[in-house]
Every structure is written in C-alpha cells, then in structure tokens.
Amino acid sequence: MAEETRKLNILVLNCGSSSLKYQLINMEEKKVLAKGICERIGINDSQIKHTPIGKEAVIIKGDMPDHKNAVQYVIDALVSKEHGVIDSMDAINAVGHRIVHGGEEFASSTVITDEVIEAVKTCSDLAPLHNPANLIGIDACKQIMPNIPMVGVFDTAFHQTMPKKSYLYALPYAYYRKYKLRRYGFHGTSHKYVAYRAAEFLNRDIKDMKIVVCHLGNGASVCAVDGGKSVDTSMGLTPLEGLVMGTRSGDIDPAILQFLAEKENKTLEEVTSVLNKESGVLGISEISSDFRDLENAIAQGDKKAALTMNVFCYRVAKYVGAYAAAMNGIDAVVFTAGLGENNGAVRSEICSYLTFLGVNVDEEANKCRSIERDFSHEDARVRTLVIPTDEEMMIARETAKLL
C-alpha cells in the first residue's frame, strides 16, 4: 500500500443527478486502483458498489440523502481497513471533478481556484441538479485534502464545436448578445469518449463517420457527432431540454410554464422545479425515476409503466431521426450510460423506429449488458453498438494533462 503513495494517483469524482461515480487511478501504470458508484442518492435504498483493485465488488449500504454524504462514503471506502486501497488521503496527488455547466466561461478543462469555484456557482441556476452537487464534491475535497490540486472538466466543452444554426434559439437575437442565451449541451465528456471508442471498435476513422450517441442515464441526451465533432445535441441552455429523463420533462411547449403557474398558483421557480424534479419518468409513471423499478412494474403488468417506457423510447427515436437528417446520413447509433448499457428492451424499442434508416438489430446480441458490443444484424446498413462510457478515465487524463 505504502508504495502507491509515491506514484501519481488521481481521484475522480463524477456527480450525476442521482449518482456519484468515482475512480482512483494510478496514471503512471494506467491502473484503476478502485472504482465504484453511489446509487439512488436522494431517492431511497442508497448504496455504494465499491470495487477495490483485484477484488470482488462489495456493496456498502448507507444513508445518502444528498451528495455530501455520498462523498464521505467514498472517502471512507477508499481508506477503510477492509475494502480500502490507500492508507490515507495523503496517497492522493490530485482530484479531477466533473463540472456540468461551465457557461461561456469555460471551453476547456481548468485548474480549480477560488475564482473558478465562484464562476461555477454563478452557473448553478443553469444546472440546478448538478453544479451544486459538483461544488459539494469540490468543497469536501478542499476540506479533507486542502493542499491537493484539483481540476474541473466540463460537460459543456465537447459541444463548443456546434455550428450557430444548432445552438441558436429563435428568440430575439439581443438575448444571445446580452446573456449568451443559447444551447450549450451536456454529457460532452461521455459523448466524446463513446463516439471515439465506437470508431476504434469498428476499426474506422472517426473523421469519416456520422455517429449518433444516445447517453441514456438518469439524465439523458443525444448527440450528433460528425467527423469526431459535436454538431448538435438535445440538451440546451440547461440539462432540462430534450429527452424524457428520470425526473426531468425534456422538451415541452414553453407556454406550459405560465399555464401551470396560473392554474396551480405557483411561482415560475416552483414550476421549473416541477419540470426538473417531479416530471419525466417519475412524473408519468407515478412509480419511480429509476428504470429498474419501472421494469419490475412492467413485468407485473403495470400499464402506465409500459406507457412511460413508450414515451421515453419514442422521444429518443425522434431525436436519432432528426440527427440523421442533420448530418445527411448516419453510420452508427451508439448506446451508453445506465440504461443504454444495461437495458436491451429500451435499445430494441428505440431501434424499432429506425429500420427505415437501415437499422436492423440482432436481438440475441442485444441481450448484452455493460460490454462493448456491435448488436447489428448482418444485413444492417447502420451499425448499432453498446459502448460503456468512461467519463472518469477522460477526467483523469485531463487532470494529468493540466498538472
């Protein structure tokens, strides 16, 4: 154990809306010393699935009403006598943080200073489920490891290549000029990793490929990647736009805000909170924001759970169709994140709308979970793939690059 302290160990914290993923990576040996996921934060039955290097994963049960508790569980797990991989936090040389919204200020990764923290705070309104959680992670590390350098890697960075026709809203242009009110897009670190991995997996040059990446987790977005560059994506100024998500509505008629404010006697802030926290899969199903709960309900014949899944898949398929048009063609549809990697039924239903494009699924191959797999039928004209995302490794590389 002591030997590891002399090497460059990077801790990566990836706060999602309902999860905290982490990896402790030794960059010299390119070795993951420990990784894990705290799941269902703030929902119920929170737990951490912790995998120390060379050992079986262990499940640590705990109360995790918010991300602060989750960060503490991660740190305890890393130094624990039983399941830990380091003696103390001194063995960590740097921390890489996922930061979801960087606004117009951050087009690339940056070393975290007090000024950066203030700038990230000012973007919190634009990513209310994420930036506050990211800041909790940063703050916890500052307290526990005050002298360890930290780097922020932004979800928005990969989408900076979008052309203006993709990111401009049809609002008075003055708002773009005044406020930089535009589409930013999120999950960029994941979309980039997955698109490049997909090209490598298919033995093709990404420069010659038109790829649609479907990042389907609790937060979900679709990205059109043309020649390795993001040219459009479904999330917008905030991570509320686009697909139906765990608790987020995705696209709705903007007139609904005023309608609901009046009918339900709510402020705009309260209505926006409903769209962020009480809508989506949770809102329609009235069961849960977690697709595993939905799958169980569907298996028991719950019609509304089945309808929720139909609404979710239909929306994803419409975006894939739109992006095939945006790129004037499509070579591959790639699925990733919690659902995209694990839920074959969701992949299958989405693909069923896309046969007109040349998508043709091998249902047997589509039974895979969490492995890289081409599940296209041999007659398919468009490849369909599962590529597990690895935002943490991307964040670790960026962190090492900046330090």
Ligand X SMILES: Nc1ncnc2c1ncn2[C@@H]1O[C@H](COP(=O)(O)OP(=O)(O)O)[C@@H](O)[C@H]1O
Q: Does 18 bind ligand X (CB under 6 A)?
A: yes
Cα separation of 353 and 256, whole Å? 28
Place of tokens 């489920």: 129
Q: How far is the CB of 16 from ligand UVW (least distance, A)?
A: 3
- 253 as an active site residue: the answer is no
108, 192, 198, 369 from 30: Cα distances, Å: 23, 20, 21, 25
Q: Does 217 bind ligand X (CB under 6 A)?
A: yes
Q: Does 388 bind Mg ion (CB under 5 A)?
A: no
Q: Does 46 bind ligand X (CB under 6 A)?
A: no
Cα separation of 172 and 163, whole Å? 18
* Residue 288 binding result from ligand UVW, ligand X, Mg ion, none, given CB thresholds of 5 to 8 Å by partner type: none
Residue 130: CB atoms within 10 Å: 24
Q: How far is the CB of 130 from ligand UVW (least distance, A)?
A: 6
| Candidate list 137, 152, 188, 219; residue touching ligand X; CB under 6 A | 219
Q: What angle do CA 373, 378, 379 make, to 5 degrees?
A: 135
Q: How far is the CB of 235 from ligand UVW (least distance, A)?
A: 7
The interface region with ligand UVW, picked from 83-91, 136-144, 217-225, 258-266 by CB under 6 A, is 217-225
Q: Residue 14, class by beta-carbon neighbours within 10 Å (0-12 exposed, 13-18 middle, 19+ buried)?
A: buried
Place of tokens 């839920």: 343
Interface positions, 6-65, toward ligand UVW (CB under 6 A): 16-17
| Candidate list 31, 49, 204, 292; residue touching ligand X; CB under 6 A | 292
* Residue 130 binding result from ligand X, ligand UVW, Mg ion, none, given CB thresholds of 5 to 8 Å by partner type: ligand UVW
- List, in order, residues 6 or more apart from 171 with CB less than 8 Å away: 181
Residues that constitute the known binding site for Mg(2+) = 14, 391
Q: Does 217 bind ligand UVW (CB under 6 A)?
A: yes
Size of the site for ligand X (CB under 6 A): 16
Q: How far is the CB of 369 from Mg ion (least distance, A)?
A: 17
Nearer to ligand UVW, 241 or 331 (CB): 241
Cα separation of 384 and 347, whole Å? 9
| Candidate list 16, 188, 242, 388; residue touching Mg ion; CB under 5 A | 16
* Residue 292 binding result from Mg ion, ligand UVW, ligand X, none, given CB thresholds of 5 to 8 Å by partner type: ligand X
Cα separation of 3 and 350, whole Å? 49
Q: Does 19 bind ligand X (CB under 6 A)?
A: yes
Q: Is 180 helix (H, G, I), strand (E, B) or coil?
A: coil
Cα separation of 378 and 374, whole Å? 10
Active-site hit among 76, 90, 155, 226 = 155
Interface positions, 214-233, toward Mg ion (CB under 5 A): 217
- List, in order, residues 6 or more apart from 268 with CB less than 8 Å away: 257, 261
| Candidate list 291, 312, 319, 335; residue touching ligand X; CB under 6 A | 291
Q: Does 128 bind ligand X (CB under 6 A)?
A: no
Residue 34, beta-bridge partner list:
24, 52
Nearer to ligand UVW, 233 or 376 (CB): 233
From start to end of 29-133, where are the E strands? 31-39, 47-52, 58-61, 94-99, 110-111
**Sheet of strand 9-15: strand arrangement:** 58-61, 47-52, 31-39, 20-26, 9-15, 94-99, 150-154, 110-111
Q: Does 4 bind ligand X (CB under 6 A)?
A: no
Q: How far is the CB of 245 from ligand UVW (least distance, A)?
A: 7
**What Rg do the C-alpha atoms of the chain give, in angstroms?**
21
Q: How far is the CB of 346 from ligand X (least distance, A)?
A: 9
- Residues with a catalytic annotation lie at 155
Q: Which residues contact ligand UVW (rule: CB under 6 A)?
A: 16-17, 100, 130, 155, 186-187, 217-219, 239
